[in-house]
Amino acid sequence: MAATELGDDLLGFHIAQAFDLRELGSFYYVMASSEKLGDAILRESHYSSVVNEGLRISCQKASMFSVDFEYVGVERHLDRHEMEFWITCNLRKSRFFTNRSLVPTYVGFIHRHEGDLSEMERYFACNINFGASADRISFELQAADLPLITADPYLNRFLVDDYERAFASRQFSRNPLRTRVENAITPRLPHGDANIGNIASDLGMSPRTLSRRLAEEGHTFSSILDELREVLAKNYLKHTELSISQITWLLGYAEASSFVHAFQRWTGMSPSDARRRISRADLDESHSGKHIS
């Protein structure tokens, strides 16, 4: 809503570049005082839940040095700007800590982003993958060994000890299974394979166990899938550059008729009628604003 009112379609991206990194407090300094970039990112991933219980950050070294971002107890499909903030901020910190113009080998966001992305692409200096399977930024493997110009071993030992005490003593919030299921479904929808078997596998359990645990929370897999599609459909219809056929694909339907029937069941109208109603509402709001000014 803030992005809409400000007319800034890249609000999270812009905030990540503008704020003083030191505003992150001791979380900034436990990263900045590390010896190498890999150590800083490891501190970020290990202690992120202490400062933000709704975000889990993880890093891994395989063919690339990758950092993944995942929401805990927060619906991922409702967000765009905050995730763009976190990944942009991660790149900005990495460049500042090493005093190098690091270029990622990969940047991916689960959400879709229509419109002009040239500003983001210039900043990241690489292609950005929207509609990806994970929120991730990756670098060349050797980037993890880059020394930090901000390193301070004495400060780092003090802060690590402090964070370890906080990490050991705090109680972590439980991530509702419904939210975990929704967040697992979202990246699979466009591929048409968001079924209970695949989602159960993604969550490390059997379909039978998933069904049982959802029932304990008062849900079924099919109802969660249906409600998630409804929310996403209404959001996608606001983007006029997306055709009905494209929305059908994004929601994981094989045929447009299946999407139309589902949308009529949800709202009592067709997707085309709903889009016209949204357009009229936007036009009325625009005229009202001009009249007031």
Per-residue pLDDT tens digits for 16-32:
999 999 999 999 999 99
Per-residue model confidence (pLDDT) at position 284:
59
Per-residue model confidence (pLDDT) at position 115:
79
Per-residue model confidence (pLDDT) at position 293:
42
pLDDT in tens, 117-173: 899 999 999 999 999 989 999 999 999 999 999 999 999 999 999 888 877 765 444
Least confident of 44-48, 100-104, 107-111, 140-144: 44-48
Phi, psi of 216 (to 5 degrees): -65, -30
- CATH code for the structural domain at 177-292: 1.10.10.60
DSSP string, the chain: -HHHHHT-TTHHHHHHHHS-GGGGTHHHHHHHTSSBHHHHHHHHHHHHHHH-TTEEEEEEESSSEEEEEEESSS-GGG-SHHHHHHHHHHHHHHHHHHTS----SEEEESS---S--HHHHHHHTS--EES-SSEEEEE-GGGGGPBPTT--HHHHHHHHHHHHHHHHHSPPPP--HHHHHHHHHHHHGGGT---HHHHHHHTTS-HHHHHHHHHHTT--HHHHHHHHHHHHHHHHTT-TTS-HHHHHHHTT-SSHHHHHHHHHHHHSS-HHHHHHHHHHHHHHHHHHHHHH-
Identify the residue with better confidence: 51 or 186: 186
In angstroms, the CA 137 to CA 83 distance is 11
pLDDT in tens, 195-212: 999 999 999 999 999 999
Pairing of strands 135-139, 106-109: antiparallel
Beta-carbon contacts of 155 under 8 Å, excluding residues fewer than 6 positions away, are: 29, 33
Averaged pLDDT of the chain: 89
Looking at the chain, the domain(s) classified CATH 1.10.10.60 span: 177-292
Q: Which of 103, 105, 104, 111 is nearest to 133 (CA)?
A: 111
pLDDT category, 175, cuts 50, 70, 90? low
pLDDT category, 73, cuts 50, 70, 90? confident
Residue 46 has pLDDT above 90, yes or no: no
pLDDT in tens, 255-267: 999 999 999 999 9
Residue 106 has pLDDT above 70, yes or no: yes
Residue 86 has pLDDT above 60, yes or no: yes
Beta-carbon contacts of 128 under 8 Å, excluding residues fewer than 6 positions away, are: 107, 108, 109, 117, 120, 121
In angstroms, the CA 203 to CA 197 distance is 10
Residue 292 has pLDDT above 50, yes or no: no
Per-residue model confidence (pLDDT) at position 287:
54
